[in-house]
């Protein structure tokens, strides 16, 4: 029987907190304004095209940065897993998350599909789903969130909902043995699922890299027609009314204070503003809407990505090559002794207490040479 592979969402597959307000704006608030009677078909079409442009721009940004919104190592692992799924060697690849926003999960998974296509994954290895009048490529299915009905029997304690093997199998709709269920998660809190899956529960290093407002502003501005920021035309009226609703939801103004920051953060472009001025105003607003996404992005180094990728491939040896997995465990490979040993603790036993970085072979030789010089 073919195995199934699941992914946690937040801080494992992605870190999507900074982009969440924009997804709310594009998928709900803007769509709500486009449904108002009297809005022209031309404006509706232009806005939907701009939304698609933005998602496509995010995908192009992922390719250029080699992974920012998404865990970089997963962008290297997923093509092989999707190929296996297309051949029936994997039955299901799914998201199993405690995130409460299913729209966010669906859109991020769509952007992931667009990214993978740009990286050479055939569309035939992905999933096509209908969203209203448009079709979207998706990567993983089903995509489960905390409120999914199939998870109703899993214990909920305040904000924490347990993940269980029974819940996974019920939601996926398949009956497979524990040994054929693989799951990626950054958390060690889901004891029930961990105890059931044992070594097939792959606890990952927490991924906390996020897209910053400066880049999100650039991508939004480049995706929309300039008329979307003009308050004197229909397209601008629709865009700005929807965006104002977003600001009302996220910008908190304490009693007795006009704004949290000295400058009025609300996005209020003028018809005469050029794109540079519009971008400055939009960035100021996004900084107030999503304060944690200010500043510059801190991305993973190539060493971090390569180490993460090597560990994933080592841990998935039994999935990629079941016949060799037993032999590989009995006789550790050069990769295991060189990299995996130093990083085993964070992946399965939480974070390392030591802050020392692993020493590569070149550094090790240099230290040995230095010690010899000192003793001579």
Give the model confidence (pLDDT) of 304-350 as tens digits: 999 999 999 999 999 988 764 444 433 333 333 333 333 333 333 33
Q: Which residues contact 54 (CB under 8 A, 6 or more apart)?
A: 22, 26, 219, 220, 223, 224
Average pLDDT, the chain: 85
CA-CA distance, 94 to 141, in Å (whole number)? 5
Share above pLDDT 90 across residues of the chain, in percent, rounded to a whole number:
70
Among 8, 9, 15, CA closest to 300:
15
Task: Retrieve residue 166's tokens.
Answer: 């029974």
Residues 343 and 358: their CA atoms lie apart, in Å, by 8
What CATH number should be reported for the domain whose range is 4-19+69-203? 3.40.50
Considering only CA atoms, which of 236, 292, 312 is closest in space to residue 268?
236
- The predicted pLDDT at position 338 comes to 33
Per-residue confidence band for 254, with pLDDT thresholds at 50, 70 and 90? low
pLDDT in the model for residue 323:
64
Residue pair 301/286 in contact (Cβ under 8 Å)? The answer is: no
Residues facing 7 on adjacent strands: 95, 184
- CA–CA gap between residue 358 and residue 360 (Å, rounded): 6
Domain boundaries, the chain: 4-19+69-203, 302-375
* Confidence (pLDDT) at 328: 40
> Going by DSSP bridges, is the β-strand pair 156-157/160-161 parallel, antiparallel, or unpaired?
antiparallel
User: What is the pLDDT at residue 353?
Assistant: 37
Confidence class of residue 40 from pLDDT cuts 50, 70 and 90?
very high
Tell me the average pLDDT across 197-219.
94
């Amino acid at each position: 029987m073919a195995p199934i592979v699941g992914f946690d969402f937040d801080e494992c597959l992605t870190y999507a907190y900074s982009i969440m307000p924009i997804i709310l704006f594009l998928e709900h608030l803007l769509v709500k304004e486009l449904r108002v009677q009297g809005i022209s078909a031309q404006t509706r079409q232009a806005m939907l095209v701009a939304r698609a442009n933005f998602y496509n721009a995010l995908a192009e940004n992922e390719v250029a940065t080699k992974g920012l919104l998404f865990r970089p190592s997963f962008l290297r692992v997923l093509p092989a897993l999707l190929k296996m799924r297309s051949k029936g060697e994997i039955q299901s690849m799914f998201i199993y998350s405690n995130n409460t926003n299913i729209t966010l999960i669906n859109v991020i998974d769509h952007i992931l599909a667009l990214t993978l296509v740009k990286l050479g994954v055939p569309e035939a290895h992905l999933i096509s789903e209908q969203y209203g009048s448009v079709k979207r490529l998706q990567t993983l299915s089903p995509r489960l969130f905390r409120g999914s009905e199939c998870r109703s029997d899993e214990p909920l304690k305040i904000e924490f909902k347990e993940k269980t093997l029974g819940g996974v199998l019920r939601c996926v709709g398949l009956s497979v043995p524990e040994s054929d269920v693989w799951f990626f998660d950054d958390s060690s809190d889901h004891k029930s699922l961990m105890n059931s899956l044992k070594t097939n529960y792959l606890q990952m290093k927490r991924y906390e890299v996020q897209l910053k407002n400066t880049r999100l502003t650039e991508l939004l501005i480049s995706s929309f027609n300039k008329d979307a920021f003009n308050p004197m035309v229909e397209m601008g009226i629709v865009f700005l009314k929807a965006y104002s609703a977003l600001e009302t939801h996220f910008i908190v103004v304490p009693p007795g204070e006009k704004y949290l920051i000295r400058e009025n953060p609300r996005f209020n472009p003028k018809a005469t503003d050029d794109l540079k001025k519009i971008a400055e105003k939009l960035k100021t607003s996004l900084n107030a809407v999503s304060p944690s996404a200010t500043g510059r992005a801190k991305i993973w180094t190539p060493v971090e990505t390569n180490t993460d990728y090597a560990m994933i491939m080592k841990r998935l040896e039994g999935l990629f090559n079941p016949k060799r997995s037993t032999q590989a465990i009995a006789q550790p490979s050069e990769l295991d002794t060189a990299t995996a040993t130093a990083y085993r603790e964070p992946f399965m036993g939480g974070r390392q207490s030591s802050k020392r970085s692993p020493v590569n072979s070149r550094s090790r030789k240099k230290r040995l040479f230095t010690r010899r010089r000192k003793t001579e």
